[in-house]
Structure 1
Amino acid sequence: MENLTAKDINDRFMNKIAWVSVIVGLEIVLGLIGNVVVIYVFGRRYHHCNFRYFVLCIALIDLLSVFTTMPAEIVSQLYWYVYPMGKSFCKIKTFLSVFTISSETYCLCVVAVDRWRKMCRPHGWQIRPRHAFRICVVIGIISAMQSSPVFVLWGLYSYQIENITVTVCEKDEQYIGSNYHPIYISVNTVILISIIVAMNGLYAALYVNIPRLLLKGSFHALVN
């Protein structure tokens, strides 16, 4: 009978998903170039408006993901069953992953609200540049709070495959058998899906109103 090791099991898994790591690597390169260009254009060339702050916020979050989350994901994929980076690295990696996803979702939703108000409520209250900056700060704080349970719930977890002990970056061992981990994931998923649904609803309402707004001559508000 073949004497397998954790490294053998990891190598088999890595060979199956190597293409995923290649795609993530390409995303890192494209994300770095694209976001640097966006930050330069909107930071130095774009006129002063609330949309500028939102785009810069999204680009900076993307850049954070490019430098941290994506490379850490490649490490996880290459060493899935023999995770080499330790519990602290696992917690930080997962925190940043949840943080970037949450904050980008919130930012995109705020952009949808801003577009909707400018098009459908052009004479009502609008988000000003000073408001936009504060909103971006609040989004960062809320996303950090939403992601903070990761530091408790995530960590290294060892179990057996084919009588071989493997170590993965998943739930912390002290929470094995508890419901905290799935509850946290479920709550986060519901929150993000609800925001995405609300955002799509706003854009749907916006597109439905575009013909009427064109006739009224207020379409220029969308780009201001």
Structure 2
Amino acid sequence: MSDSEVVTNASRISSPDTERLLQEAHRKKVEEHIPLITVLFIIAFVGIIGNILTIIFYGYRVKMTSTIALIRLLAILDLIVCFLCFTTIADLFVNILFTDEILCKVMYFFDHWFVVSSVFTLWIISIDRYRRMCKPLGKQLTVKSATVAVIITSVFSMVFSSHDFITYSPVKVNISTSDKVNPYITGHYCTNTDSPDLHLVVIVFHVLDALTITACFVTFVFTYGNIWRELRNHNRRTVHLHKSSSALSRQSTSDFNSKTLQSDEDVENDRGTTVPLTKNQAVHFSLGSNINTEILNVSAVAISTASSESKFATECVENVRRVSKSSKTSRSERRLTIMMFAVTVGFAICFTPYFIVTVGIRQTSATTEDELHTGIEFALRSPFWNSVINPIIFCVFNTQYRRYMKDVFTKCQINKSTVNSSQG
């Protein structure tokens, strides 16, 4: 049956029957969307709590750096996105009864604005991590410059998302019914406009969206790819330096033991005479007879300053100590980088279904009713997941944050128990 025939059949239905069939189709769609609505409500609730705790922890419980400032700003954006989940839930409840054009445009504008702002913040974080790990001596982002960068990208996202006021509006959709005489009814839902005059405009902005996200993906691959290579080379250099230092330390210890044994022999030869031991001989004798292997190693490093060969060994040991000291600082940077890489992977996973549906299935579907399928609706709202899983990733990769969340929930449980006890 062609669309014109469907519209003709729908127009033949009397007004009371139209309203009855429309309400019936609407109720059926709500029932189909109940699992998705439930999931969205749960993730919105979890995301709000998680992002509030993230803002508090990274805003007041840790030392402020550019990356920490960016994580806090990302959490603020994600918190807003989680609140916007409730507008999406309302949209799923209204579904085919959506006729308010202004509300349709505003809703998608805010969704688009803050989701894209969140993506750009991840983009800035990847650049900041690249500069910290691969260009540590170069110019770095400060807390102020990182904040300004997020504000600039957010303003750009707002301007870029303003095209939703043109490309989104309530469109007609033919919904199948249980009535055998009139199997279709006409409803409305909020999506890309179906106006022929704006068809090219919609395509152009879809392409721009795809290019923007693709550019971010390319940046992620470049930055985190170079970070991985730098970490791998750093680990190789550290292992090589430790091996060289160990070999030199063993050689220095062996030389010292040889000198000690020789001194012991001299003392033994002179034992039959009445000549007293010198101070240095007494020291060598005491060391040779009482010192254990661990003390020999430490003493070898200390005494080795007397010769040029042992000076070189000492310098190598000092280099290892400096590397170890700097490693304690860089270890936290590496953990932070790995955590943000995991957040970026989560972003890629969450956005993939959306682009598959937007670029693929949505363009090739036979009817507009296919877009109202629960699976398609789930994929179109998958970017919301990115704002929910970020606090979970922080909890997995950050021991201090995990301990903080545990303390918060423990205190809440204790307070709840206290209140219940007092009421009882």
* TM-score, length basis structure 1: 0.89
Question: How many Å apart are 1:178 and its aligned residue?
Answer: 2.3
1:9 and 1:22, CA in 2 relative to 1: closer, same or farther beyond 3 A?
Answer: same
Moved more, 36-45 or 151-160: 151-160
Verify the 8 A CA contact 1:90 1:156 in the aligned structure 2: yes
Distance 1:27 1:62 in 2: 12
Q: Which residue of 2 aligns with 1:54?
A: 70
Q: Which residue of 2 aligns with 1:44?
A: 60
Verify the 8 A CA contact 2:169 2:193 in the aligned structure 1: yes
Q: 1:127 aligns with which of 141, 158, 168?
A: 141
Q: Which residue of 2 aligns with 1:164?
A: 185
Distance 1:30 1:209 in 2: 36
Pair 1:81 & 2:102 matched: no
Distance 1:191 1:38 in 2: 27
Q: Which residue of 1 aligns with 2:215?
A: 194
Deviation sequence 1:135-173 (CA, Å, 0-9, x none): 011011111011011112212222433441201111346
Verify the 8 A CA contact 1:83 1:169 in the aligned structure 2: yes
Deviation sequence 1:14-39 (CA, Å, 0-9, x none): 32232111111111111111011011
1:178 and 1:115, CA in 2 relative to 1: closer, same or farther beyond 3 A?
Answer: same
Q: Whose Rg is larger?
A: 2
- Tell me the matched-pair count: 221
Q: Which residue of 1 aligns with 2:203?
A: 182
Structure 1 residue ranges, 4+ long, deviating more than 6 angstroms after superposition: none
Deviation sequence 1:87-146 (CA, Å, 0-9, x none): 222111101111122111111111111111111111111111111111011011111011
Distance 2:122 2:139 in 1: 19
Pair 1:70 & 2:88 matched: no
Moved more, 130-139 or 198-207: 198-207
Verify the 8 A CA contact 2:37 2:89 in the aligned structure 1: yes
Pair 1:154 & 2:168 matched: yes
Distance 2:97 2:205 in 1: 25
Moved more, 214-223 or 129-138: 214-223
Unaligned runs of 5+ in 1: none
Verify the 8 A CA contact 1:21 1:74 in the aligned structure 2: yes
1:169 and 1:175, CA in 2 relative to 1: closer, same or farther beyond 3 A?
Answer: farther
Distance 2:196 2:205 in 1: 12
Distance 1:47 1:129 in 2: 11
Distance 1:95 1:158 in 2: 20
Verify the 8 A CA contact 2:128 2:140 in the aligned structure 1: yes
Alignment-mate amino acid for residue 120 of structure 1: C
Distance 1:190 1:18 in 2: 34
Verify the 8 A CA contact 1:153 1:175 in the aligned structure 2: no
Verify the 8 A CA contact 1:65 1:97 in the aligned structure 2: yes
Distance 1:186 1:35 in 2: 31
Alignment-mate amino acid for residue 81 of structure 1: I
Pair 1:25 & 2:31 matched: no
The higher-RCO structure (CA 8 Å, 6+ apart) is 1
Q: 1:105 aligns with which of 119, 122, 127?
A: 119
Moved more, 179-188 or 130-139: 179-188
Verify the 8 A CA contact 1:105 1:196 in the aligned structure 2: no
Q: Which residue of 2 aligns with 1:118?
A: 132
Distance 1:147 1:126 in 2: 30
Distance 2:132 2:170 in 1: 48
Q: 2:154 aligns with which of 140, 151, 172?
A: 140
Verify the 8 A CA contact 1:7 1:81 in the aligned structure 2: no
Q: 2:233 aligns with which of 212, 216, 220?
A: 212
Question: How many Å apart are 1:176 and its aligned residue?
Answer: 6.2
Alignment-mate amino acid for residue 148 of structure 2: R
Tell me how large the CA RMSD over aligned residues is. Answer: 2.3
Distance 1:205 1:32 in 2: 34
**1:125 is paired with a residue of what secondary structure?**
coil
Q: Percent identity?
A: 17
